[in-house]
Chains A and B, each alone.
Chain A
Amino acid sequence: MKFNTIDIKGIVSPFSAIGKVLEHPKTVCYPAQTKTVAPGYRGFHTNVLTDCIGCANCQDVCMNDAIDMVTIVEERNAKNKSGCIPRIDYGRCCWCNLCVDVCPPDSLALGEVCIQADEDSNKFLFFPKDSSC
């Protein structure tokens, strides 16, 4: 036996946890309720295609070789000298934000979407959503 006296406080005080029953539950009833995402969250990519100049700075700095430059189907920016826009492989991307930091016209950005579930793994070769209005 490690104790000679009975530790009354130690036996009785844990019962104060029962008081939690009267509190509001802390869980979020997903998907009926969703949690709001903070501004500046590093979610899925968006690209302003009317500003993107196809310089491939993002492809150069990406530390996991996740970005491909792919020929654009319909031309959106006359200054795009190579005719290519980035496509990102979400199996390799780590959402580190380096591609956003080096983009010269500031067209690439990380948005607030963060959920995608699909049976086809090719859907994860992701064209950033066009956010030019």
Chain B
Amino acid sequence: MKNLQKTYEVTQKAERLFEVTVPQTQFWEAMLYISTQTEFNTLSQIACTDWIEEEHFLLIYILTNDARDQNLMLKVTLGREYESMPSVTTLFPQAEVMERDLHEMYGIGFEGNETLYDFVLEQWNDLPPLRREFDTLAFVHEHFAFKGGREDNKDVKVEQKRRREEAKKQKALEAEKEEAEKPKEPETDTKETQDKKPDTKEAEDGQ
């Protein structure tokens, strides 16, 4: 660990998890140094994230030591246009299958690895699927037919609005009807108020 801290800048992410970032040009030298001169001599996993907004892939090599109690993440950035990295299969034989997986899913080339044939997908001619521009929903709509029977699905917000408007209209109609039911009154002041009450009562009874 002390060797590592002398040569590279190490950040601690958690209790037993460390991180080192190197530019792509220094990657091979860093990997050789770390796997031979420090205690992190086993490869656990190679992970890759597609940061499409920043236009690069981030490759993370997760290394661990013999006592299996600490992990080191070695991070490298790579361009998105089908670039290549040097393969680490000469240092770690288990990297063969991990690089095959990344080659198939992202289109990253690994120089020195001759086993970059099909891993999981068969006869796949489209974009490498885990790239962010591959839209799985559009792919499904293009290649598969959905079973019918679910066309009467309604959007609840639209339904609520529609029912509110209908209820309002219904109320307005009923109020108009009530107005229309009332008989026409002559234009007198005091007599109107006296006569109105029995009239409205009759109207209610009539309904």
Contacts and interface: CB of A to CB of B under 8 A. Distances in A.
A81 B163 contact: yes
Interface stretch (A29-37, A67-75, A103-111): A67-75
B197 interface: no
B159 A68 contact: no
B149 interface: yes
A89 B152 CA distance: 13
Interface string A111-128: 000000000011001000
B153 A82 contact: no
B120 interface: no
A68 B156 contact: no
Q: What is the interface residue range for chain B against chain A? A: 10 to 19
B150 A89 contact: yes
A122 B149 contact: yes
Interface string B135-171: 0000000000001011011111101100110000000
- Majority SS at the chain A contact face: mixed
A122 B157 CA distance: 27
Contact of A70 (B154, B157, B164): B154
Contacts of A55: 156
Contacts of A56: 156
A70 B152 contact: yes
Contacts of B150: 68, 89, 125
Nearest to A125: B149
Interface string A52-70: 0011100100000000111
Nearest to A56: B156
Contact of B159 (A84, A89, A121, A125): A84
Contact of A81 (B152, B153, B155, B160): B160
Contacts of B153: 68-70
Given A82-B163, A83-B163, A121-B147, A59 B156 contact: yes
A84 B149 contact: no
Q: Choose among B147, B156, B160 the residue with the greatest number of A CB atoms under 10 Å from its CB.
A: B156
A132 to B, nearest CB: 21
Contacts of B154: 68-71, 82, 84
B60 to A, nearest CB: 27
8 contacts: A54-B159, A70-B153, A82-B156, A82-B157, A82-B159, A82-B163, A83-B159, A122-B149
Interface of B: 147, 149-150, 152-157, 159-160, 163-164
List the 3 shortest-distance A-B pairs measured between CB atoms, nearest first.
A56-B156, A68-B153, A82-B159
Given A55-B156, A68-B154, A82-B157, 20 more contacts: A54-B159, A56-B156, A59-B156, A68-B150, A68-B153, A69-B154, A69-B155, A70-B152, A70-B153, A70-B154, A71-B152, A81-B160, A81-B164, A82-B154, A82-B156, A82-B159, A82-B163, A83-B159, A84-B156, A125-B149
